[in-house]
Structure 1
Amino acid sequence: MAIDSSEFSYLPAQADALGVPLPTVQRLTLPLPDGRSVSALRFGTDAPRITLLHGAGLNAHTWDTTALALGQPLLAIDLAGHGDSAWRDDADYSPRTLAADVVAALDAWTSGPQVLVGQSLGGLTGAAVAAARPDLVAALVVVDITPGIDVSAGPAALREFYAGPTDFASRAELVDKAMALGFGGTRPETERGVFLNTRVRADGRVEWKHHFARLAAAALAAHDPGTAAAPSVLHETGWDDLAAVAAPVTLVRAERGFVSAADAEQFQQRLPDARVVVLDATHNVQETAPRDLAALVASAVTAGI
């Protein structure tokens, strides 16, 4: 039997560990008018009712375990500059810019309003989508981000992780570096994350799929540590976007994440009709509390029936 070395090779073991059936999963690609393309994963064969948007430096596969736990038809979109979606020449990865690609994808691949779930940068992007196109969004779930916090500088370890070369001799070299700096969990988990977030170029060198690593390295080379971890995200428009969302809004605060209790309180004051839910998780809630997050998303789908 041939060994499955595709991007879906990890899914059977993940489904088995969760005790759930393995769904049909396929890669979708949509050409855009400007010559770029947006890519996504489609779980299931029926029309999706859930769309997932990842955070900065991640990709659609960060949602794999949550998607399996949900067991419902859904889309997980690679934001521009991430995963298999094209990089932007202008390096503009602000939420409203990213939202335009998401809207194009939803128009092409969905047939009804979505429970739109966005983590970190994906959460601000989701708010921009819901504000601009309320017909596409049945409910908005914002995961561990508010416009009131700035995560663009990032921790020192993350800056060190992106320092130095932008390409590597092997994925094993990146796994070693990630584990040495305390990223990832077990080695198999780190290997999976590196495999799904890198590509092998024609010259045999390995590079990150996301544009942020290249931009971060350039910022470090220019001795600008304040922007080294990721390009600056324009948060000032976030509150305006959230205020314009007509659909029900839920904020998920990770107890060990970026949103503090004070941040959540500010969110609640600005959006008094929003719901705030606290989960025992790190910033990447979809990876550290996938069952709990899946249950919350499923309840949003049920409420919209």
Structure 2
Amino acid sequence: MVTDARVTVPTVPGLTGLSVLARGGYATVYRAVQESIGRDVAVKVENRRLESELDQRRFLREARAAGRMSGHPNVIDLFDAGVTADGHPYLIMELCEASYADRMKTNPLSPVEARDVGVKIADALADAHALGVLHRDVKPANLLISRFGEPQLADFGLAVLVEVRDHSITLDALTPAYAPPEMFRYAPPSPAADVYALSATLYALMRGRPPRWRDDVNPGLVPTVDMFGEPIPDVPGVPPELMALLRAGLAHDEHRRPTAVELRDALFVLDFELDGARPARPVRRPVFDTPTSRSNESTVASGDDDVTRVIPY
């Protein structure tokens, strides 16, 4: 890494002009230029080092698994991955300038908009789960807006970066307001956790703050856990059928939540048109056989292509 008086800037092969976009507990995101083609990109650099060669190999294997998600039209493209000379893993990704976290602070989504975003992101999660990949941190800040105005699910890199660590610290990298109850018990991540997080996110995008929050102030970890026992208030102007679906996704019992496929399809058939708009209907087109396992180790890490892809047009 190169150090100046203000910040330590990593050296990433092929990238120049790195400047900090965001800093987090587990990684720093930089804006950079990919020299070979003059493209602006985002590069996420892990704050910690991978000390062993085994960890580095596992990171690169998991990065390849996350890279398979890039083909989905509502997932941020992952261009490259690697490890810096001093052991920091990095991911080079598509650059988006805005997020739905920014949007909800000033102009919360209408029910129609939230439904349409939900259909697309639930489809992305359904595709990921079929490939044996979990997201683990769905939230408004990880729903970016492409230059074409499309919602893009970002930060599948979290699944990559935490895979090389102990499960007991996974919660440290999550956002409590959108994490399900079982994650606070350090239960292993599951597809149901992604469904909970997406349901909480869609709720927040319409209300302007996460479920059960009484105001815009983050109540902190302990009060957030205590709030799980409170009912989820209605959002003014949101049709009851959409509220019922989100409450199903926010069920305390993970086994009672819909799958990502079920959530996607249930969102799509909601018919409360305010302006005659309809989302693009997901067309489930099998390219390979249905996966025999949803395990990241057996389906994704093996490199087998026995998966079903879900592609909206």
TM-score per shorter chain, which class? under 0.3
TM-score (norm 1): 0.28
